[in-house]
Amino acid sequence: VLGNYISGNNRTGESNRKSAAFYRNVLNNYHLTWEKNGRSEDALNALDEGKLIIACSGGSRSIMTSEGHYFVIVARDQGYLYILDSYLRETFPMDRDHLIEIVEPGILKIAEKDMRSVPILFRYIVTPNANRTRYTHALLDDYLARSDQGR
């Protein structure tokens, strides 16, 4: 949804990849409850409650990209953050210490202890609709195993 929206495929025709402001527009258009909050502790607690986090990484210290890059953190489980990443990369050349585990292109796993080294900057806490699946390590493993078997 977010990829389509920022590409201009939305009812407003808005296209914007350079500002976090477009996330507010997406969240409001889909009538999702959200709050702007950059505190790590609040974001991690929100993940434990089944909420989503819109976060970013970028700049001279980033191992994801030299420019700003936004992504969605969908789960926290067993000391790791699970990230949906629209870049669909198979490698992150700037990740010399191999802090980013690519589960498969578009699904990343990063240890919580490495959040500051990536760095991950939290932006928005999103309360999803009640029918959203809560992702856990076991559920993601099962999903990937079934997709590898062509189910």
pLDDT in tens, the chain (151 residues): 555 555 555 556 555 555 667 777 778 777 788 999 989 999 999 999 989 999 988 878 889 887 778 889 999 999 999 998 888 889 998 999 999 999 988 899 999 999 999 999 998 999 877 765 565 666 666 666 766 655 4
Task: Count other Cβ atoms within 10 Å, centred on residue 124.
Answer: 23
β-strand partners of 111? 80
Q: How many Cβ atoms sit within 10 Å of the Cβ of residue 58?
A: 15
Helix/strand/coil for 76: strand
CA distance 25 to 31: 10
In this structure, are residues 54 and 124 in contact, taking their beta carbons and an 8 Å threshold? Answer: yes
Radius of gyration (Cα) for the chain, nearest Å?
15
